[in-house]
Amino acid sequence: MTTASARANPLSLHHLTALDVSPPELVTLAAALGCDHVCLFTQVQAETRALFPAVEDASMAEAVAERCAATGVSVHNLEYFPVAAETDPAVYRPALERGARLGAGRATAHIHDAERGRSLATFATLCALAAEYDLRIGLEFTAFSKVSTLEAALAFVRDAGADNGDVVLDALHFFRSGGEASALATMDLSRVGYVQICDGPARITEQQRMHEAVAEREVPGEGAFDLTAFVAALPPGPVVDVEVPQSARMAAGVSPLGRARLAVDGARRFL
């Protein structure tokens, strides 16, 4: 497989790209495609548990660890850890600990609490908890959350004051929030700790946004995003996660490996 040292930004395969495989099978796909890492779910909400295959018990964690050892692929990022008004970060301890035992180095949080002072405090507490397991917490801004732009996410992480807090830069959410790739070159991206890549049409309706985010993104190079400028502005180092769910191709019978190969090959054309 391709080694991380051969690239300024190593590749990871996000589980959203192939939700119809188990976590150990995702590791196998990543190895077959030369990815260094995977992004797995170790924490999902009860209402969405059926949608996201997750590592939620010791037997599944053991199966993932065995597959990682056999392939050389490692777990890099853990999904997903929402911060809402009522969130007590302590409930996330088992999922963080489970992911850390698999070798993960970070986890992703979304902010759903509109009261900024409280959400900053909760995020800082989550970061402190994650630090016990040598994990970083990445704040992912989305149109569906209370932190919805890159600028807002950078300011939030700065104000939270946690040394192990940084920002997740997802190409989809960047462009859908009105971001201009050309502006990235003028910004301080030193607090961007993790990147996710996909493509998409120039415009969609508000009603399509959630479906696009979790079920139907476009392979890099097949859409209208200015990924050339986006990638050129990235700092060296952060892992680039290939997050390209393709429900239409899945329904048409394209295999998980076939869909993941399209997504990874598309990402490589830009990286």
226: domain CATH number is 3.20.20.150
The total of structural domains in the chain comes to 1
Other CB atoms closer than 10 Å to residue 17's CB: what's the count?
A: 27
> What's the domain range around 23?
4-270
Q: Which two tokens stand for residue 72?
A: 């050389």
Phi, psi of 99 (to 5 degrees): -65, -40
Residue-averaged pLDDT of the chain: 95
Q: What is the mean pLDDT of residues 203-207?
A: 92
pTM to 2 decimals?
A: 0.95
Is the predicted pLDDT of residue 2 greater than 90, yes or no? no
Give 225-250 pLDDT, tens digit per residue: 999 999 999 998 999 999 999 999 99
Contacts of 174 (CB under 8 A, 6+ apart): 150, 181, 230
Give 75-106 pLDDT, tens digit per residue: 999 999 999 999 999 999 999 999 999 999 99
